[in-house]
Each structure stands twice: as structure tokens, then as C-alpha cells.
Chain A
Amino acid sequence: MSPVRKKRFYMVLLLVVGISIATFLIVQAFSQNMMFFFSTSEVKQGKAPKDREFRLGGLVVEGSVKRIPKTLTVQFELTDSITPVSVEYTGILPDLFREGQGIIAKGQLNASGVFVASEVLAKHDENYMPPEVADSLAKAAKINAENAKNAEKAGSTEAISESIKEKSE
């Protein structure tokens, strides 16, 4: 490269690096505001705002969905698999709402710590597969879980029989 072009090239490089650093700093400063939702643990730790609306994201806990008869009110629990938060919502739920599904609810905590939602959005994950594959995956997971349970059971009966042995001796 000729000296003139080299100089121009360094100017271009300087421009890109400078803009990148500036953007990095701006994004850092806004990082908290760019979070679309808070996790349930963050809410329990008091990181979420108390006096205004925010979004809460998590998985719907299996078996926690309760519909109040003759109303559109639904009660369920959201969790990030560590801490659950109770949510109440009155309205029509999106198609993908189901137990175990990722959900983002917009609303506010009331005095008793229940999250009263004004809007519920369903979050889907990046996995795409035909239903048969999903079924077989679920089956395999079930079998694995059962095997683990049986192994645990077997382990515990062994432990019990061992303790009985110990006592009899």
C-alpha cells in the first residue's frame, strides 16, 4: 500500500475502533434498561422496580395453572427453576401458553407479593422439530427419569437393608 492509502486505511480503522468504543460504553450504561424482563430470582431479591410496571419472565410451573370459574382470571406460578413467583392475569392467553412454557408477563407486584399481570407474552425457544421427534424425546426423557428414580430407590433399599443388618448385628 502506498503511504497515502496506508494513512487513509489507518483513519478508517481509527473511525471504526472509536465508534465501537463509544457504542460499547453507551450500551454498558444502558445495559439495565435493555433488559426486556426480570427473572423471578431478581424479583425475589428486590432488584425489580416496586412502584412501576415491569416485565417478569420465567417458565410456567407444571400443575400450577388455576382458572377461576366464570371469569378470565388465571393464576399460575413462574419460575427460573430456582425461585417461583405467583402471577395473576385476567384476559386471553396466547396460543403457546402452557405449563412448562416460557412466558413474559408485564405488570406490577401487589402488597402480598403476587405479580398482577396486564399482558402475557409467550416466549418460544430456538428448537424446531416435528411432533413425533418431540414425543420420542419426551419419552426418552421420561425413561431416563424413571431409570434414575429406580436407581435411587434401589440405592435407598440397599441403604435400608444395610442399616437393618447393622442394627441386627
Chain B
Amino acid sequence: MNILIKWYYRLGAPLWFYPLAGKLIPWVAALFLLFLIPGLYMGLVTAPADYQQGESFRIMYVHVPAAWMSMFVYLAMAIAAVVALVWRVRMAEIMIISAVPIGASFALIALLTGAFWGKPMWGAWWVWDARLTSELILLFIYLGILALYNAIEDKTTAGKAMSILTLVGVVNLPIIHYSVVWWNTLHQAATVSVFDKPSIHIDMLIPLLLMATAFKFLFLLILLLKMRANLIEQDVHSGWVKKIILDKQAEMEKEHD
């Protein structure tokens, strides 16, 4: 029985997941555009200019959602790492390794847009304050996880090592979040938080929340694409991939006739 369950986890889940993800992708892409277009329009056109920073504050509509996502993706990976280590679910490992490059990209976008914002406002591209440094460490952790997984040939061992490293890195998340509270930093404190009233005008807040939602769907979209690609790549010699290929061939032949 146990062996059967193991086989289900190993091979059954991809066969079920792969077509489901394929069906979800266009819907997620539509939701992404649905939030992105009004978010960008309101953020770049209709939102009023800031009283201090003028038009330059608009870079926040990319910077802030990207920074939030860089942490959100990591949190999702950490939860998947617990599932992968305790229940030995292979799909959780696939999810982690597929999410790593996405999270790293979000961290890189946050750091780059932050530099573009910092130069005119603060007077510096980069400073070694606690917020900026801890976000840079997050980027390095992402790259470390990616390197570790690719360095180990056997993917079962690689998945385990990657999950452990992911959990080690999770301590950085509260450090990033509270860095502006615990230490004197050049970076300002949080504008939007769950418990306090946001210190941003409502006309500026709405596009920010739209963009944040759009980024969530963007993550989901790329994650689904990447998970499908990783599954196919790893299981190229296994039965379920062959079955999908044969089904596809039969479908195409039918269309031909």
C-alpha cells in the first residue's frame, strides 16, 4: 500500500497536474492583464503626483509589488519545503525549484528599481543600510538554492538539500520586514501594513494594490509554466510524458484527417 502511495506521489501527481496547469494558464494570464492594465494606467496617469517627490514616486508601482513578491514567493517556497521534507511530496520540490528564479527576478527588480529611485531622491544609488542589505542577501539566498539544486545530480537528494536550505533562509524574511523598525536605516518605514491605516493617499493606494494583485497572478502564471517545463524535463523518459505525447499526436492526426 505504502509503495502504491509513493508511486502516486512520484508519477500520478504529474499526470494529473500537467493538463490541469495547462488549462489554468490562459485564465491566470487573463486575470494578470485584468489587474495590470488598470493598475498601470491609474498608477502612471491618473494618480496625483506626490507632494515631495513629484512624479518620481510612480516607480513605486513596480518597486513595491516586486519587493513584496520577492518575500511572498520565498514564504510560499518555505511552506512547500516543509511539505517536501515531512510528507516527501515531489510536486512540492518541483514547485520550489520552479519558484526560485521567479523570486530571484522579483528581488532583482526591487533592487534595481530601488537604485533608480534612490539616486534622485536620496542622492545615492546604493547604501549599505539594513533594509537594502537584507534584500540583497535574499537575492543571494535565491541564487544559492538554485546553484545547490543544479549541483546535485540525483534529484531526490537535490530536492531534500534544497528544501533544507530554503528553510534555513527563511530567517531572513522577518529581518527584511523589521529592518526599518529595528535599526536606523535610510529606507523609510512601511507605508502599507495589515494592521495600521496606510500612510498613502487613497488615489495612490488603489493602483498600488491593483499592481500588487497583478504581480501575484504574474507569479502564478510563470510558476505554472515553469512547473510544467520542469516536470517534462525531469520525467522525459517516464510513462506519463510518453502518454501525453501520444495523446497529442493522436489529436493532431485527427485534425489532419
Contact = CB atoms under 8 A, between A and B. Distances in A.
Are A and B part of the same complex?
yes
Given A23-B175, A124-B188, A128-B57, A12 B199 contact: no
Contact of A124 (B87, B121, B124, B183): B121
A16 B75 CA distance: 13
A35 to B, nearest CB: 5
Residue of B53, B120, B186, B204 with most partner-chain A CB within 10 A: B186
B184 A95 contact: no
A131 interface: yes
Interface string A1-43: 1000100110110011001100100010001001111110000
Contact of B191 (A31, A93, A119, A127): A127
Contact of B184 (A57, A122, A125): A57
A40 B95 CA distance: 49
A96 B183 CA distance: 22
A51 interface: no
Given A121-B124, A126-B199, A96 B52 contact: yes
A95 B121 contact: yes
B86 interface: yes
A104 interface: yes
Interface in A101-125: 104, 119-125
Interface in B98-121: 120-121
A122 B201 contact: no
Contact of B188 (A19, A27, A93, A125): A125
Contacts, number: 120
Nearest to A38: B184
B50 interface: yes
Interface string B20-32: 0000000000000
A129 B121 contact: no
Contact-residue size bin, chain A (C-beta under 8 Å from the other chain): 35 or more
Contacts of A19: 167-168, 170-171
Nearest to B174: A20
A123 B53 CA distance: 11
Contacts of A124: 52-53, 121-122, 188
A110 B58 CA distance: 40
A15 B123 contact: no
Contact-residue size bin, chain B (C-beta under 8 Å from the other chain): 35 or more
A128 B201 contact: yes
A110 to B, nearest CB: 22
B123 A127 contact: no
A122 B121 contact: yes
B48 interface: yes
B159 to A, nearest CB: 14
B184 A37 contact: yes
Nearest to B128: A36
B237 to A, nearest CB: 29
A15 B167 contact: yes
Contacts of B86: 1, 5, 8-9, 12
A24 B16 CA distance: 43
Contacts of B50: 128-131
5 contacts: A36-B184, A96-B53, A126-B190, A126-B191, A129-B201
Interface of B: 48-53, 57, 60, 82, 85-87, 120-124, 127-130, 164, 167-168, 170-171, 175, 182-186, 188-191, 199-201, 203-204
Interface of A: 1, 5, 8-9, 11-12, 15-16, 19-20, 23, 27, 31, 34-39, 57, 93-96, 104, 119-135
Given A34-B182, A119-B124, A126-B189, 12 more contacts: A5-B86, A8-B86, A12-B86, A12-B167, A35-B184, A37-B186, A96-B121, A119-B123, A126-B199, A127-B199, A129-B204, A134-B51
